[in-house]
Amino acid sequence: MTNLFRLVSVAMLLIAIGMAGQGVTSREQATDRAKTQRAEPKLPTQAEVDEALRRTLGFDVSQTWKVLYIKRSEVPGIADALIKFKEDDYEHFYILPSGQRAIKGEMVPFGPNPFAEARLKLKAADGPSRGPQTPIISMVEFSDLECPYCKAAQPLVEKLSADFPQVRYVFQHYPLPEKQHPWAKKAAKYADCAGRTSPAAFWKYIDSIYENQGSIALAIADDKLQELATAAGLDPQKLAACASSPETEVRINKSVELGNSVGIMGTPTIFINGRKVEDTTSYDQLKALMQFEIDHAEK
């Protein structure tokens, strides 16, 4: 009896120690969760951000806005709200933990190698390309085939590519939401398939889409895009089948996600050596910037 009693006592003691250990672990986990919650306050809701903007800007009846997203910024505890005010007019509001203050503006790359992070992300760019596979630097363009600004920029970007053959130029699709550009995603799918089917014909195809923007509408987009495909030397039926495939949908969404990851807020946007360039109206400025980045490759 005595030995049995001792064995039972030891077993109970071990169970108690185990339970105590579990209690400590649970308390530690609870403490860690509490610390995390304190470090990262709850994000403001869209309704809260909208109401704050209305209280500040509501006196101007001509002012309109839309909260595009609210997410955690790179700075712990500070929320990043992207607001669209007018066409091509976007503003970041960095909201402090109290919710009573916000910093309006843009968080920009900084330091001795400010564009390294963007360069690393853009290694995933897999759109149609020109230039060497192992270039000094790369130029990545995010474009929307329904966007008139993209149409205006394309000749400048292509000239830049021709003038700097040592640079690899990659075209990435970034169709804007259907409410803004109804047939842009459909065109991106056709063009993506063209790029995979016949890389040489791709450039001719997108030039023709840009050129015919005014005659394309959502209701006739398939017919028009197939007509332009024929003119570019592509098989329209095969292109249409490819464009409607789930694989192509995934590819376009992946390209948009890549653009979002590097801070795209509108089209066209190009990245030269990881440096984001949103003003594509001056060729001389683009050329100077390209040479500057070549001189500072990997920096």
User: Which residues are 170's β-sheet partners?
Assistant: 129, 140
Residues in the chain: 299
> Is 276 inside a domain boundary?
yes
Residue where a domain terminates, one of 105, 126, 149: 105
Is 124 in the same domain as 241? yes
Q: Which domain holds residue 58?
A: 46-105
Give pLDDT, residue 14.
Answer: 33
Specify the pLDDT at position 29.
53
Both 77 and 126 in one domain: the answer is no
**25, part of any domain:** no
Last residue of a domain, one of 57, 76, 105: 105
Both 132 and 67 in one domain: the answer is: no
- Residue 227 and residue 176 in one domain: yes
Q: Are residues 97 and 223 in the same domain?
A: no
Residue where a domain stops, chosen among 105, 126, 145:
105
Number of compact structural domains in the chain: 2
For residue 273, being part of any structural domain is answered with: yes
> Would you call 126 helix, strand, or coil by DSSP?
coil
The angle, 0 to 180 degrees and rounded to 10, between the axes of the packed helices 236-243 and 221-231 is 130
Q: Is position 187 within any domain?
A: yes
Residue with tokens 């091509």: 88
Same domain, 99 and 130: no
Starting at the edge strand found earlier in the chain, the sheet holding 79-86 runs: 66-72, 79-86, 89-95, 102-105
Specify whether 68 is located in the same domain as 100: yes
What sign results for the dihedral spanned by CA atoms 57, 60, 61, 63?
A: negative
Mean pLDDT, the chain cut into blocks of 10 residues (299 residues total): 39 38 50 55 92 91 90 91 84 92 89 93 96 93 98 96 96 95 98 94 97 97 97 96 97 97 93 95 95 88
> Residue 88 in contact with residue 266, Cβ under 8 Å?
yes
Which CATH number does the domain housing residue 85 bear?
Answer: 3.10.450
Assigned domain for 28 exists: no
Is 24 within the bounds of a domain? no
pTM (2 d.p.)? 0.78
Residue type, 41: P
Q: Are residues 55 and 192 in the same domain?
A: no
Is the residue at 193 inside a domain? yes
Query: 99 and 155 share a domain?
Result: no
**Residue 122 and residue 94 share a domain:** no
Q: Are residues 53 and 157 in the same domain?
A: no
- Does residue 94 share a domain with residue 133? no
The domain that holds 127 is classified in CATH as 3.40.30.10
Residue 27, domain member (yes or no): no
Which among 176, 297, 175 has a CA at the least distance from the CA of 248?
175
pLDDT of residue 52: 93
**What is the pLDDT, as a whole number, of residue 12?**
40
Q: Which of 209, 126, 217 is nearest to 173 (CA)?
A: 126
**C-alpha span between 293 and 299 (Å, rounded):** 8
**8 Å CB contact between 165 and 159:** no
**Residue 69, CB half-sphere, CA atoms under 13 Å: how many?**
7
